[in-house]
Amino acid sequence: MTTATKTPASPAAKAPALRLGAASFRLRRRPLLVVAVSLVVLAALLVVDIMIGDFPLTAAQVVDTLLGGGTRRDQFVVMELRMPRALTGLLVGGALGLSGAIFQAIVRNPLASPDILGVTWGAGAGAVSVITFAGSLGVVTGSAASIGVPLAGLAGGLFAGLLVYALAWRQGIEGFRMVLVGIGITAVAGNFTHYLLTVGDVQDAGRAMVWITGSLNGRGWEHVVPVALALAVLVPVALIGGHVLGALQFDDQTSRGLGIRVNVARSFLIVVAIVLASVATAAAGPIAFVALASPQIALRLSGTAQPPLFGSVVIGGALVMLSDLVARTIYRTELPVGVVTAVLGAPYLMFLLIRSRREARV
Amino acid sequence: MGRRSLGLLFLLVVLVAVCLASIAIGSKEIPLSGVWHGLFTPTGAEDDVVIRELRIPRTVLGIAVGIALGVGGALMQGHTRNPLADPGILGVTHGAALAVVLSIFLLGVNSLVGYIWFAFAGAMIASVLVFLLGSAGRGGPSPVTLALAGAAVSALMNGLVSAIVLLDQQSLDAFRFWQVGAIAGRDLTVLTQVAPFLFAGLVIAAFNAPGLNAMSLGEDVAKSLGVDTGKTRTLGILAITLLVGGAVAACGPIGFLGLVVPHVARAFTGPDYRWILPYSALLGAILILFADIVGRVVARPSEVEVGVMLALIGAPFFIFLVRRKKLVKI
């Protein structure tokens, strides 16, 4: 635990401290402000997202309906169609953002994300296997599509992530080796997925392409619940476990000297990040760029030394929800959300890169 | 002769052997006497045509692209000091892809040779864009800003490519053949068009190695050693763009090779870029030819694309190496 009583000369001493029994946290103003502002923005975005669509609603109607009022048509549109979809986007984005923040902090590399550490393409290989083989066998139809594909994605992501972790273990876990093993596993899983795309028939390949791009199309409450449960458990766990991330940014000996059990702490956080990314990918497919960009955007907004965990959750959620709003309204047909996340997120990250006045760090 | 020179000689011998194998082995079985006949006394028989028109161009193209991607990858990891930086991270690959898709979508271009200049131009533009973005913040281009700017530009272009391809079925149909990335099915005119750029890239890369060595000690140390870091970085990125842009223009995107080969080279040479670059060049050529040969024989009479084989053969070997060797960090 960090102590709040620093020497008066330290600039950190200006920050007020929060004490809970033996534990104490420093409260920095700017990150807190960013969180507060973005929560408000997030709520506003949620309302706007629900307002817009084939049946336009006013903000008052949306709020009224959410509080239990509204006509039956409004109830149906809001509670059955738009709300679950918006919430899935929000939660999936949050989970991806948090997972990316943890990976980037542990590996100390801004390019590290679940995409590179095996999870994304592992999930892709699992889900596309089911789409291709179940499709060509003609055995499984409705239930396989709605339950089998996400389950296979979850299993594939967890398996690939844990495989990378296990193969990288060599008397302890270390970021650099994990990254290299992740490159290898990602290459195998990615190419296997591309191979599957050429094996199946065209319609299956098309469905698989949409899944690989990441889509929120037709997501209902059954997609919201698992991600919400995972987040409800893992976000607090990550926030509590994440207090060691600041110490882990030094080399191993320094971290040990600060009293951190390096391998235990890393392993714990890595497993949390793998589970978060797998659950999110299972629900909406591997949505590109969110896990990589959200922590970097949050870091630049809050001015901290490392990706702020909660900030990354909020930015990730906002990015995916906003992208889905664009994806489903910009063109006659609905685009997969994964197409838009990069197109929206990349220019913003570039803007922050250009504007940043200090030397960039991870 | 030092250990590293011997290793280089050994790799050269292996490369020659793989070249011969690449000419002799294929989905059509040709006896060795037939191969000899085709090489030195061709009469225009079917086997001679296969050897001279298909296998030799494919082998030469494989060598050129393998060298380019190996060296480009090593430079890339050196300049971004990031083990995750594949040669495409400067936006080169995705820039080329976007240009090709646009040429299909807007101009109706429809042949592999027709894509070359679009791909090359796209690669150049993307690379310049990333470099400008990465240098825009205070302190000029740093490894982190370059890597992040590259990732952002790549993601943006990739998003645009997916959007076009998902909305326009015809573009998807033409684009997916380019996107596979292969050294097969291309004749030598492809190579002669990009060869000057690859050659220029290699020359610049060779002069870039000493400066890169100094810069891997950190920017400040390099400056105090008298290295002009800005010039070294700019030249390095020029070399990467020429090499990788040329390779992508000729063969489409071939992933994994440029990412992995420098790590393998580094495991044998240590951190000296004057050795890493030639090792990467030879290893790149050997690996791509080997993967291509295996791809020809595993699924006779059809073939498996070289990109797929590269990952399936290369990745297990790479993971094995990463687990066993004491890692040389960047």
Q: Is residue B329 part of a domain?
A: no
**How buried is residue B151: exposed, middle or buried, by Cβ count under 10 Å (0-12/13-18/19+)?**
buried
**Residue B303 belongs to domain with CATH number:** 1.10.3470.10
Q: What is residue A12's predicted lDDT score, i.e. its pLDDT?
A: 45
* The CATH number of the domain covering residues in A30-47+82-351: 1.10.3470.10
Q: Which residue of B has its CA nearest to A350?
A: B149
Q: How far apart are CA A49 and CA A127, in angstroms?
A: 28
* A327 neighbourhood in chain B, CB within 8 Å: none
Say yes or no for a CB contact (<8 Å) between A343 and B163.
yes
Give me the mean pLDDT over the A112-126 stretch. 85
Q: Is residue B170 part of a domain?
A: yes
Question: Of B139, B159, B327, which has the smallest distance from its Cβ to A343's Cβ?
Answer: B159
Q: Cβ of A181 under 8 Å from any chain B Cβ?
A: yes
| Residues of chain A neighbouring B311 (CB-CB closer than 8 A) | 187-188, 190-191
Q: What is the pLDDT of residues A266-293, one digit of tens each?
A: 888 888 999 999 988 888 888 888 988 8
pLDDT of res. B253? 82
B3 pLDDT more than 90: no
> What is the ipTM, given to two decimal places?
0.72
Q: pLDDT over 70 for what percent of chain B?
A: 96
Q: Please, which residues 268-297 of chain A have a Cβ atom closer than 8 Å to chain B? A: 288-289, 292-293, 296
- Whether B37 is in a domain gets the answer yes
Q: What pLDDT does A20 receive? A: 67
The reply to whether A116 touches chain B by the CB within 8 Å rule is yes
Contacts of B160 in chain A (CB under 8 A): 343
Contact B133 A354 (CB under 8 A): yes
User: How far is residue B226 from each of residues A246, B234, B298, measured CA to CA in Å?
Assistant: 35, 16, 53
Question: Helices A59-66 and A29-51: crossing angle, nearest 10°?
Answer: 100
The total number of structural domains in chain B stands at 1
CB contact under 8 Å between A359 and B255, yes or no, is: no
- Which residues 329-358 of chain A have a CB within 8 Å of chain B? 331, 333, 335-336, 338-343, 345-347, 349-350, 353-358
- Return d(Cα A124, Cα A149) in angstroms, integer: 10
| Structural domain for B81, as ranges | 3-324
In a domain, B306, yes or no: yes
- Per the model's pLDDT, the better-predicted residue between B206 and A136 turns out to be B206
d(C-alpha B49, C-alpha A309), whole Å: 62
Give per-residue pLDDT as tens, B196-214. Answer: 999 999 999 999 888 888 8
Task: Flag if B322 and A180 touch (Cβ within 8 Å).
Answer: yes
Chain B neighbours among A 292-311 (CB < 8 Å)?
A: 292-293, 296
Per the listing, tokens 């006045």 go with: A357
Question: Terminal CA-to-CA distance of chain A, rounded, Å?
Answer: 23
N residues, chain A:
362
Q: Least CB-CB distance to B145: which of A168, A190, A360?
A: A360
Which of B137, B307, B316 is opposite residue A356, by nearest beta carbon?
A: B137
Measure the CA–CA gap between A118 and B220, rounded to whole angstroms. Answer: 35
Tokens 């298909």 belong to which residue?
A: B54
pLDDT (tens digit per residue) in B138-181: 666 677 778 888 888 888 888 888 888 877 777 777 777 777 67
Average confidence (pLDDT) over A63-70: 80
The size of chain B, in residues, is 330
